[in-house]
Amino acid sequence: MAFARGKRSMSISDRSGQAFPYTEMVREWTGALVHYSEYEPKHPQLRRKKVTADAIALQNARSQDFNIYSGGARYTTADLTLPGEFAFMSNGMQPDDGSFQNRQRQLNPITGSVTIVIS
């Protein structure tokens, strides 16, 4: 379908409401028909950015078998527990007693006496 060129026609700007020559009108990114003097390009922050996810998983991951000979190499486990009361202790699914740990961390201040001598 053919349209007229609009050499002598006027158009109303969607922004200001003023009449301008039809040939000087441009369409904004919002869809508004405005004069080229009123045109505002799209702000760069409104453009979509390509979001790529962080690489977390390995592509060909295999689980490690501990204490098994595999192709001449032996994998062993390391004991990383801490000695004493810092070692991980569990009583099944029962939660640890937090108040016991807090009692060990309490400060027991010893206050002395202060003597004031005025001479």
In order of 80, 81, 105, 114, the CA distances from 111 in angstroms are 41, 38, 19, 10
Q: How many CB atoms lie within 10 A of CB 57?
A: 5
Q: Which helix (H) or strand (E) holds 27?
A: strand 25-27
| Digit-coded pLDDT (tens) for 7-54 | 889 999 999 999 999 999 999 999 999 999 999 999 888 888 787 777
Amino acid 69 reads Y
d(CA 8, CA 18): 16
d(CA 93, CA 85): 19
Length of the chain in residues, anyone? 119
| Digit-coded pLDDT (tens) for 66-106 | 555 555 555 555 555 555 555 555 666 666 666 776 676 66
